[in-house]
């Protein structure tokens, strides 16, 4: 292995001459194989259903300013890419952190303006939480799934997650929280349309957020909004490399792409926009909400 690189999950990450950091590969150029993040991917479906993706690159767009309500996010992203000398290409997939979408759309709440309901006060008292924060979470929720030790709810979109996606992190102000976009799929469509107009390239958009996962520790990025790229790949009816029939294999492509981009975003690096380049896909307009398992198929509801 070369000096200044590390391997994890089969990936080799260059860290710009620094010490290897297991499980993380983040710098301004994000390299696998000394230049950018590169992942080898092998297709198991027939060529008619899926082609080998080969080299996949993760290219973070640096230099984005703090986003505020009403900002033209597409113009800001294109301008930042130009300053960073990053050119868009056809079939690029732009993965955008939910946080900057919410900021641009004004999906922000100030706890100082929130009056807690009796239900919020009761839930807050059981978990030593701020009742105003719990009130915001309840307003964003269809139902409470679990109260303690973490408040797990089903959002109005149908996502089951902690705190309904309400978040303090990476938001200026002590009492300010961001909320999930009202319609992340619509947000992705509008941003994709604007990016295509400005760049003259066919660009797909995924909006990502960090979710916890049942039975596994840690957070990973998942897609909460999608436009222009398939969100799932149904391999049922095809055969694996040993010619065995696949009967239940449906890949969550949008979540895979969001998780990959999360390697480049980090949590403190200030890189909320990442280009995923090299993944072969057929353009599609399928909402990310299609990934949500229907209630009648939920074995744990």
Short-list 129, 138, 137, 101, CA closest to 226 = 101
Query: Are the CB atoms for 131 and 210 separated by under 8 Å?
Result: no
Query: Are the CB atoms for 208 and 249 separated by under 8 Å?
Result: no
- Give the separation between CA 295 and CA 157, rounded to whole angstroms: 13
DSSP, residue by residue, 258-299: HHHHHHHH-SSS---EEEEES---------GGGGSPPGGG-T
- Can you give the pLDDT at residue 53? 52
| Percent of the chain whose predicted confidence (pLDDT) is above 90 | 63
- Model confidence over 233-282: pLDDT tens digits? 878 888 888 888 888 788 899 999 999 999 999 777 789 999 999 999 99
Residues in the chain: 301
Helix (H) and strand (E) counts in the chain: 6, 15
Q: Is the pTM of this model over 0.75?
A: yes
Is residue 17 over pLDDT 90? no
């Amino acid at each position: 292995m070369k000096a200044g690189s590390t391997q994890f999950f089969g990936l080799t990450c260059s860290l710009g001459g620094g010490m290897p950091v297991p499980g993380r590969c983040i710098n301004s150029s994000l390299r696998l194989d000394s230049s950018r993040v590169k992942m080898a991917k092998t297709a198991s479906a027939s060529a008619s259903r899926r082609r080998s993706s080969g080299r996949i690159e993760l290219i973070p767009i640096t230099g984005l300013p703090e986003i505020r309500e009403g900002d033209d996010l597409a113009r800001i992203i294109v301008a930042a890419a130009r300053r960073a000398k990053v050119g868009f290409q056809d079939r690029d997939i732009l993965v955008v952190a939910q946080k900057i979408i919410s900021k641009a759309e004004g999906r922000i709440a100030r706890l100082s303006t929130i009056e807690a309901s009796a239900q919020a006060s009761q839930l807050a008292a059981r978990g030593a939480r701020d009742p105003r924060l719990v009130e915001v979470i309840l307003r964003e929720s269809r139902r409470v799934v679990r109260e303690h030790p973490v408040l797990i709810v089903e959002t109005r979109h149908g996502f089951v997650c902690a705190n309904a996606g309400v978040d303090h992190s990476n938001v200026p102000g002590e009492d300010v929280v961001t909320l999930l976009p009202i319609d992340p799929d619509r947000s992705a469509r509008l941003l994709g349309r604007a990016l295509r107009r400005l760049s003259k390239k066919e660009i797909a958009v995924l909006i990502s957020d960090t979710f916890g996962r049942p039975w596994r520790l840690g957070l990973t990025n998942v897609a909460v909004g999608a436009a222009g790229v398939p969100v799932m790949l149904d391999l049922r009816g095809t055969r694996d490399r040993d010619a065995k029939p696949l009967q239940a294999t449906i890949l969550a492509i949008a979540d895979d792409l969001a998780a990959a981009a999360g390697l480049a975003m980090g949590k403190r690096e200030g890189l909320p926009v990442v280009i995923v380049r090299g993944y072969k896909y057929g353009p599609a307009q399928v909402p990310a909400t299609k990934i949500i398992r229907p209630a009648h198929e939920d074995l744990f509801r």
